[in-house]
Amino acid sequence: MSSSLPFKVDLSGKVAVVTGGAGVLCSQFVDALAACGAKVAILDRNLEPAEQKALEVTQNGGIAIGVQANVLDKASLKTAHEEILAKLGPCDILINGAGGNHPMGTTTKEYLFEEDLTEKLADTVTFFDLEADKIEFVFNLNYLGTLLPSQEFARDMVNRPGATIINISSMNAFTPLTKIPAYSGAKAAVSNFTQWLAVHMSKVGIRVNAIAPGFFVTAQNDKLLKNEDGSLTERSEKILRNTPMGRFGEAKELVGTLLYLVSEEASSFVNGVIIPVDGAFSAYSGV
């Protein structure tokens, strides 16, 4: 497990809580934290994948438990917290990895044309068709799904040496992507909240930063990026044209940034920043 790390930091005796910990990107975080000696609580809405991931970690010599938790339910988070306190101890590191989009918070076209309104096709979703409850779901999942776990677990962290919260933003928080107004707005809110919380927690020794991934192929966006035959969609081709490094990221390429941010030795004065890991996508104007 540790052989795949870009470098190793000492997290011995630390307890790390990872929401969405069974997902493609966050499961890499779980592996890295465990390989560095942390005891990891893997939180997921569904217990089975969380326990499966925990078993994988323990079989590789790490310490991990799978815990069921809904990041939008304070009672669920409190129950999960009590279990973690009993089994592992108080939280030192919180990774707010839970998040995502919803198809009904997404337009089918990048631009609105008048004919989309006058010659309405059944499969066309315009800006005017977006449903408030679906937008609310996406916003809540990403924003409240970061805020509520922070409320629950930051209580443990007050004046604990090396206490840190790492949120997961997105490069579309810098410049919104077409078609996904709910998700882009929600991730912009996560970035803003990261800065707010860093300031708010600065007197009690809790650092708060965020990682903003660019385009990584995950189970969640696989259908968006690839056709059924595995070839790239038109949107994928556009993404790669606008990613100066000319490729998608691999999940393991987020690990170095994570370890840098969780290491008090490496980043003790780094607070309130959002670090893009996106192959220069957010730096490129398209020209």
Which amino acids are annotated catalytic? Answer: 183
Dihedral angle computed from the Cα positions of residues 86, 19, 62 and 59, in that order, rounded to the nearest 10 degrees: 110
CA of 10: how far to CAs of 16, 26, 192, in Å? 13, 19, 30
CA dihedral sign of residues 10, 16, 19, 24: positive
Encode burial over 204-242: b for 16+ CB neighbours within 10 A, e otherwise. Answer: eebbbbbbbbbbbbbeebeebbeeeeeeeeeebeebbeb
Q: Using an 8 Å Cβ cutoff, are 202 and 271 in contact?
A: yes
Task: Please give the C-alpha separations between residue 236 and each of 6, 64, 93, 192, 221, in angstroms, as whole numbers.
Answer: 28, 36, 34, 28, 11
